């Protein structure tokens, strides 16, 4: 029965994603208005506090508010840098880690509502026959640092500086103001407030304009590129800080001779992590990994790539699963029997 | 002191009767009572008069320099009460229901460890008239319990219960609809009338449905030029607000019951926002990504993937 309903890991993940989409976007409406105060208030996924129906909200809004209202204010007063200031921050990070410990970055690949929305858009793009834009090894290195910059500037530095009075108070939660999840999740509840740009001050207007433009870009880009926002998401870098501390792991064999010629896992990876094909052992679990498990699903050899929890195998690659998977969908995510047009973004000077 | 209480109560009752339009329980005062000394507020247990309504209300005032030292005082207005009853959302706690005595600056509401929502009520009984002022106050603290059960506990004969009350970090806003349950002795009151007044000058009347639930439309009555008025609490620098009160009256058991529920509300969601510009910038971003959708003829035509 379960095998019929969930023949592949991909089907399990898709089901979880849809359930989580409902919880993170409509959870308050389904489970009670105050659900948002009771689950974690520090979720390792972009579940948005601006969504009036959300069931929980992400750690980043909490971080920004605490740095703005507690740490920044306390630093400027140069007094009372005490437990009263740091305990709430430690509490948030602690609650976040309790959740993160269990699932690691699977929060990105299985729970995040914006991740799910982008995947759904990508599926639509496949149906519409749009090309697939991929980042090659030469290009991907240029994009990867952006997520750390986003974390450092928008989540950590500006809110703290706003609390200290160094920059405008409106920069208290700058990431939320540009986060596409804020607009996507509120629009999913038929709330148009967040897509309306704030016009009260220049800073508000600039942040709003940037946020809306980013949202528009992501919506269209997701039709022809996989997970465009995830690649620069500060929650991905925030989660990457903790990924080695969780017993949930993506594990690859230390060496496997067929990997050099195969590369299907690289094609299956929605984050263009080429290292999953070229590296082995711990190095294969890259900081950009969202633990979606597609590399393990599309690896045609037994147990080369596995998802493990405390060393126990939750899922491992197998020839049989691979055959079942490719019967329905290509590694790039196109429905089978459909020709997929792959456009390669190569560095300048390289021939196609 | 007892004489003072009775006298004040009689004065308020008389003012309420004079100001009330026909068929409507005590409404907007006919004269401005906000000027000069307010002797009523200077006496313990006395209800301070609110200039914008004659319905009984409870006003929360915050004081203190930092969030750690912040204190919350609850001031009864237009009602004479010996104390204020407070219910916390931690219904299993021994102190879930406690009575706060009214001091010079109002009744001090202590913050419990878990914070969360509190239901506050003041009751006045004069002859055959029972008047109740009620409101909700939230300490906005992590880990607060779901207050739904606490809201539904019967606390007085006639009740106006939010369904739901705005959750943490949100509040009532102009141009929004919110639901309230009207009950008498725990039973819903279908067809019951509710009157709304706001400190911005709006008045409206609503009728409960067959389940005793009334849908209240918060009027969009802020003046665009009005300066920020509500600077208390979690102040983000630009918030402003006004007060609203809902009141209902019911006669039973040879008595007249009047219950009011008050809260603050903010400007409508789209104040200082532009939907047109928002859509414009979104479209701009979409146009920026549009080249990604184009197929290039010069590139590798196609790849039947998945056959490794």
How far does the CA of residue B202 sit from the closest CA of chain A (Å)? 24
How far does the CA of residue A258 sit from the closest CA of chain B (Å)? 11
Q: Which chain B residue has the Cα nearest residue A87?
A: B142
Q: Which chain A residue has the Cα nearest residue B237?
A: A169
Q: Which chain A residue has the Cα nearest residue B162?
A: A33
pLDDT of residue B26: 58
Mean pLDDT is lowest, of A156-170, A249-263, B222-236, B261-275, for B222-236
Give the tens place of pLDDT for each residue, B57-67: 999 888 766 65
Q: In this complex, is the C-beta atom of B37 within 8 Å of any C-beta atom belonging to chain A? A: no
Q: Which residue of A192, A225, A300 is in closest CB contact with B275?
A: A192
How far does the CA of residue B116 sit from the closest CA of chain A (Å)? 9
What is the mean predicted confidence (pLDDT) over B247-256?
Answer: 94
Q: Which chain B residue has the Cα nearest residue A342?
A: B302
Residues of B in contact with A69 (CB under 8 A): 67, 234
Q: In this complex, is the C-beta atom of B113 within 8 Å of any C-beta atom belonging to chain A? A: no
Q: Which one is predicted more confidently, B32 or A48? A: A48
How far does the CA of residue B76 sit from the closest CA of chain A (Å)? 28
Asked whether A139 and A229 are in contact (CB, 8 A), the reply is no
- Each of the 352 residues of chain A gets a pLDDT tens digit; together they read 777 888 889 999 999 999 999 999 998 888 887 887 777 788 888 888 888 888 888 888 888 888 888 777 777 766 556 666 677 778 888 888 988 998 999 999 999 999 999 999 999 999 999 999 999 888 899 999 999 999 999 999 999 999 888 898 899 999 999 999 999 999 999 999 999 999 989 999 999 999 999 999 999 999 999 999 999 999 999 999 999 999 999 999 887 788 888 999 999 999 999 999 999 988 899 999 999 999 999 999 999 999 999 989 999 999 999 999 999 899 999 987 654 445 444 444 444 3
Q: In this complex, is the C-beta atom of B99 within 8 Å of any C-beta atom belonging to chain A? A: no
What is the mean predicted confidence (pLDDT) over B151-165?
Answer: 94
Q: Which residue of B272, B284, B307 is in closest CB contact with A213?
A: B284
- Do A38 and B146 count as a contact with CB atoms less than 8 A apart? yes
pLDDT band at B23 (very low <50, low <70, confident <90, very high): low
* pLDDT, averaged across chain B: 78
- Do B300 and A342 count as a contact with CB atoms less than 8 A apart? yes
Give the tens place of pLDDT for each residue, A48-106: 888 888 888 888 888 888 888 877 777 776 655 666 667 777 888 888 898 899 899 99
- Do B148 and A41 count as a contact with CB atoms less than 8 A apart? no
Residues of A in contact with B234 (CB under 8 A): 69
Give dist(CA A120, CA A124) in Å, integer: 6
pLDDT of residue B96: 81
Q: Which one is predicted more confidently, A241 or B37? A: A241
Q: Which chain A residue has the Cα nearest residue B235?
A: A69
pLDDT of residue A34: 80
pTM beyond 0.90, yes or no: no
- Do A216 and B290 count as a contact with CB atoms less than 8 A apart? no
pLDDT of residue B143: 57
pLDDT of residue B51: 78
- Do B142 and A264 count as a contact with CB atoms less than 8 A apart? no
pLDDT band at B30 (very low <50, low <70, confident <90, very high): very low
């Amino acid at each position: 029965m379960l095998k019929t309903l969930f023949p592949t890991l991909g089907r399990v993940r898709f089901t979880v994603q849809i359930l989580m989409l409902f919880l993170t976007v409509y959870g308050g409406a389904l489970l009670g208005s105050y659900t948002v105060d009771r689950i974690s208030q520090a979720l390792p996924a972009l579940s948005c506090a601006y969504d009036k129906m959300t069931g929980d909200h992400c750690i980043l809004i909490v971080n920004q508010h605490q740095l703005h209202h507690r740490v920044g204010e306390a630093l400027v007063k140069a007094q009372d840098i005490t437990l009263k200031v740091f305990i709430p921050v430690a509490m948030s990070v602690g609650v976040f880690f309790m959740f993160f410990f269990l699932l690691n970055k699977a929060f990105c690949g299985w729970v995040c509502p914006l991740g799910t929305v982008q995947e759904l858009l990508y599926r639509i793009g496949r149906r519409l026959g749009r090309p697939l834009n991929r980042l090659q090894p030469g290009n991907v290195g240029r994009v990867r640092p952006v997520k750390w910059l986003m974390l450092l500037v928008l989540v950590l530095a500006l809110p703290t500086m706003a609390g200290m009075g160094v920059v405008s108070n409106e920069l208290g939660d700058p990431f939320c103001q540009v986060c596409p999840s804020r607009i996507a999740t509120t629009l999913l509840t038929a709330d148009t407030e967040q897509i309306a740009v704030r016009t009260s001050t220049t800073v508000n207007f600039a942040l709003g304009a940037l946020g809306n433009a980013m949202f528009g870009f992501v919506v269209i880009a997701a039709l022809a590129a996989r997970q465009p926002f995830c690649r620069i998401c500060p929650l991905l870098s925030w989660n990457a800080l903790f990924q080695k501390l969780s017993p949930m792991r993506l594990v690859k064999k230390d060496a496997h001779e067929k990997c050099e010629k195969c590369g299907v896992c690289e094609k299956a990876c929605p984050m263009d992590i080429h290292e999953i094909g070229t590296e082995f052992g711990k190095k294969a679990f890259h900081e950009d990994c969202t633990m979606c498990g597609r590399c393990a699903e599309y690896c045609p050899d037994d147990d080369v790539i596995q998802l493990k929890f405390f060393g126990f195998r939750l899922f491992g690659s197998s020839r049989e699963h691979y055959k079942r998977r490719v019967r329905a969908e290509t590694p790039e995510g196109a429905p089978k029997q459909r020709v997929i047009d792959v456009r390669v973004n190569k560095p300048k000077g390289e021939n196609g | 002191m007892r004489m003072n209480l009775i006298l004040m109560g009689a004065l308020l009752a008389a003012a309420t009767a004079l100001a009330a339009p026909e068929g409507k329980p005590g409404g907007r005062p006919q004269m401005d009572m906000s000027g000069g000394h307010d002797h009523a507020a200077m006496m313990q247990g006395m209800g301070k008069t609110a200039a914008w309504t004659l319905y009984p209300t409870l006003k929360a005032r915050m004081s203190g320099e930092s969030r750690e030292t912040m204190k919350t005082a609850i001031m009864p207005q237009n009602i004479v009460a010996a104390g204020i009853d407070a219910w916390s959302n931690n219904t299993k706690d021994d102190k879930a229901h406690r009575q706060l005595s009214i001091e010079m600056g109002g009744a001090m509401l202590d913050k419990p460890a878990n914070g969360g929502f509190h239901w506050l009520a003041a009751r006045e009984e004069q002859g055959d008239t029972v008047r109740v002022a009620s409101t909700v106050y939230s300490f906005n603290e992590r880990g607060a319990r779901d207050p739904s059960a606490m809201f539904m506990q019967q606390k007085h004969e006639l009740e106006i219960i939010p369904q739901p009350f705005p959750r943490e970090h949100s509040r009532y806003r102009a141009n929004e609809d919110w639901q309230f349950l009207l009950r008498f002795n725990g039973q819903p009151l279908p067809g019951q009338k509710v009157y709304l007044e706001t400190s911005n000058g709006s008045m409206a009347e609503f009728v409960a449905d067959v389940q005793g639930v009334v849908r209240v439309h918060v009027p969009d009555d802020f003046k665009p030029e009005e300066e920020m008025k509500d600077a208390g609490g979690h102040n983000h620098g630009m918030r402003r607000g006004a007060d609203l009160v809902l009141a209902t009256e019911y006669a039973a058991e040879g008595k007249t019951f009047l219950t009011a529920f008050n809260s603050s509300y903010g400007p409508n969601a789209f104040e200082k926002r532009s939907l047109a510009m928002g859509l414009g910038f979104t479209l701009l971003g979409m146009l920026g990504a549009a080249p990604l959708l184009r197929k290039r003829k010069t590139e590798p035509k196609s790849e039947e993937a998945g056959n490794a």
